[in-house]
Structure 1
Amino acid sequence: MNKSKSLTIINLAEKAKFYTSLCLGTVAFVSVFAFLFLIPFVVDPAITSLMADYDTVPVTCIATNHIYTEGISNCSWSSCKEGCTKEATRCHQIYVNYSKIPFREFKYQSHVSWDVVETRFLINPEGCGYPPSVNCSHFAKQYGYTTAGTPFPCYYSRVYPEMVVARYSWDDTLRHLVLSLAIPNLLFVASVGVLSYWYCPGCGRTCQKYMHHFPAEEDEYEENTYYNSQSFTKIHG
C-alpha cells in the first residue's frame, strides 16, 4: 500500500516537473522574441530620446505652417505617423517657431524673440505611434489648421535644437527603457537557470566537486604535515 502511494507521488512529481519545464521553456523562448521586438520599438527610441536630452520644462511654440500632402515621394517626413514601420502615403508636416521661455511664463512676456524658427514639429521623439495613444488627425487639428498662430507648450532637444516635440516625459522614457531591458532578460535567465539545474547532469556534480575539493586538500595537507613531523622526530631524536 505504501509502495503504491509512493509511486503515485513520484508520478505526480514527474508530471509537475514536466509541465513546469514546458512552461519555463516557453517563457524563455517568448522572452527572447519579446526582447528582440522591444529593441526597435522601445529600447532604441528611448535611448535616442535620453541622448537627445530634451528639456523637461515645456517651452513656448507657435505653428507657422501646416502642409497636408499625399504620396510617398512627398512624405519624406511626417509630424505624425500611425504606425512606426510603414511608409507614410499621407502626411501632416507642421513647422513651428519656439522660444526657450517656459510656457507658463509666456503670458507675462511683452515681447518674444524666437530662438529657432521654421523647424519641424513632431508628435513625440519617434514621430510615430499606435492608436489610441497616437491619433494623427486629432494631432493635426490640435496644432495645425485653424489653431496655427496660437502659442502652445512643446519640448526641444538641448543636443539637437532643431528637434521639437509635443510630448515628452523623462520619467516615462527611463521607466520604459528599464522595464523593457529588465523583464525579458530576468525571465530568460531565471527560466534557463532552473532548467539547467534540473536537466544539466554535470551541474550538480560540478558544484559538489568544488565544495569538497578544498576541504579534502586541507585534510591531506594536515595528514602529510603530521607524518613529516613524526619522521623528523625519529631521525633527529
Structure 2
Amino acid sequence: MENEKIEQTWKQKLLFYTTAFFVLLGIFSLFSFLFLVPFVIDPAFTTIFMEFDEEPAHCVTLRTDRRIGASNCSWTSCREGCTKDIYTCTQIFVNYKAANRTNTSTVLSTVPPQALLMREKRAILDDYDYDEDDLSNDHEEWTFQEAKLLPNVKGCGYPPMLNCSIFLKTHQEIGSNFSCYYSKVDPSLVISHLDMWQVYMNLVYAMAIPIPSFIISVVYLAFAYFKIYNEDEEEAPLEKNAEDIDMEGDSGPVETPIPPASGGLTPASEAFREDLASFGHHLKVAMVDDMSRDSLVDGVSIGVPIGGSIGKTMTTSISTTGGPVANI
C-alpha cells in the first residue's frame, strides 16, 4: 500500500518558514558580530579608553624612519590591512603642542615677544620649513617630543577610507605642519584623525544590531523546541488513536481466532477440557439408561465412546451386590 502524501496546513507552513528565518538570522548575526569585533568594536573601545583630547593639537614632523625586517618593525605609522604582516615599515615621529590655554600661556610667558610673533607666523604658514635642530632643541615650546604618529588608534585601515600612500606623503616630510590628537593615557601616541561621534555610532551599530538579533533568535528557537514542537508531538498520537477507533467502529468488532492446539494434550489445554466434559456427559446418560432396567447382573460392562481428539473407547465396570440400585 502506497503512503499517502499528507497536505500541510497553513499553520504548519507558517511555523516552518518562521523557524527557518530565525535560524538564518541567528547564524548571520553571530558571524557578523565575530567579523566586526577586530575591525570595528575593538578599535572603538580602544579609542575611547585612550582618552584622546578632542581639541586638536599642533603637530610638526620631527623625523621619518624607514625600516626593513619583521624584528625592526614593531609598529608602523600606516598599513593597509589590520591583519597584514609587517616586513617594511615607515615610522613617523612628531613634536606636538597641546592647544590648552593654561599650558600655552605658561609656556609662552617665558618666550620673548619677538619669538612669540615668529612662532605665530610659523603656525599660520604650513609651508614653513623647520630646521630639525630647532625642532629638537626647543623644549619649552612642545608639550611632547618624538611622539608616534598614526592615522587612527590601530594604525591600519582599508582603501578608500584610508590610503597609506597619501597619508605618508602628507606627513612624512620633516617640518610638515598639521593638526593631531594626543592621548591623555599615553602622551607618546598621536593620531591624525578623530571623530568621537562616528566612533560611538560605529560601536552602537556593531553591537546593537547583531547581539539583539542573535538573542531573539535563540529565545524563539528554544521556545519552539520546548513548547510548540512538543505540543505537536503529543497531539499526533492522540489523533492517530482516534482515527484507529473510528476505523474499528466502521468495520465492526474483530474476533481474535484461537490458534489450534498442536502437539500432545496437557491438563491445561482447551482440547483436554472439552474432551473431559464430553466424557462426563456420556457417562451420565449411560448410567441413567442402565438404572431404568428391572434387574442388573454382575459384571455389567458399559462401553462409552469418548469423542474429541482422544479417539479411544473407555470401558467401565460396575459391580453390584444384592442391594438396591439406589445405593450406587
Q: TM-score, normalised by structure 1?
A: 0.72
Q: Which residue of 2 aligns with 1:15?
A: 13
3-state SS of the aligned residue for 1:29?
Answer: helix
Per the alignment, residue 215 of structure 1 pairs with none
Task: Give 1:42 shift.
Answer: 1.9
What is the distance in 1 between the residues matched to 2:11 and 2:68? 63
CA deviation map 1:163-222 (0-9, x unaligned): 1001111111111112212111111122223333333228999xxxxxxxxxxxxxxxxx
> 1:119 matched to which residue of 2?
147
Aligned partner of 2:206 in structure 1 is: 180
Q: In structure 2, the residue corresponding to 1:33 is in which secondary structure?
A: helix
Amino acid at match of 1:184: P
Alignment of 1:24-63 (within 5 A): 24-63=22-61
- CA distance in 1 between counterparts of 2:144 and 2:184 reads 12
CA contact (8 A) 1:156 1:165 kept: yes
Contact 1:96-1:118 at 8 Å conserved across structures: yes
Q: Against the structure 1 CA distance between its residues 114 and 29, is the aligned structure 2 distance closer, same or farther, given a 3 Å change threshold?
A: same
- The alpha carbon displacement at 1:51 in A equals 1.0
Provide the TM-score with structure 2 as the length reference. Answer: 0.53
Amino acid at match of 1:101: A
Could you tell me which runs of 5 or more consecutive residues in structure 1 were left unpaired when the two chains were aligned. 1-6, 206-237
| Correspondence for 1:77 among 60, 75, 78 | 75
SS of alignment partner, residue 118 of structure 1:
strand
CA RMSD of aligned residues (A): 2.5
Which residue, out of 150, 156, 160, partners 1:128?
A: 156
Which one has more relative contact order, counting CA pairs under 8 Å at least 6 apart? 1
Tell whether the 8 Å contact from 1:125 to 1:168 is kept in structure 2 after alignment: no
Instruction: Name the aligned partner's letter for residue 144 of structure 2.
Output: V
Letter in 2 for 1:116: F
Residue in structure 1 matched with residue 239 of structure 2 by the alignment: none
CA contact (8 A) 1:63 1:150 kept: yes
Q: How far did residue 131 of structure 1 move?
A: 1.5
Within 5 Å, give how 1:158-237 maps onto structure 2. Answer: 158-201=184-227
Answer with 1 or 2: which has the greater Rg.
Answer: 2
- Whose helix proportion is higher, 1 or 2? 1
In structure 2, C-alpha distance between the alignment counterparts of 1:38 and 1:155, rounded to whole Å: 25
Amino acid at match of 2:143: D
Equivalenced residue count is 191
**Paired position in structure 2 for 1:65:** 63
% same residue: 38
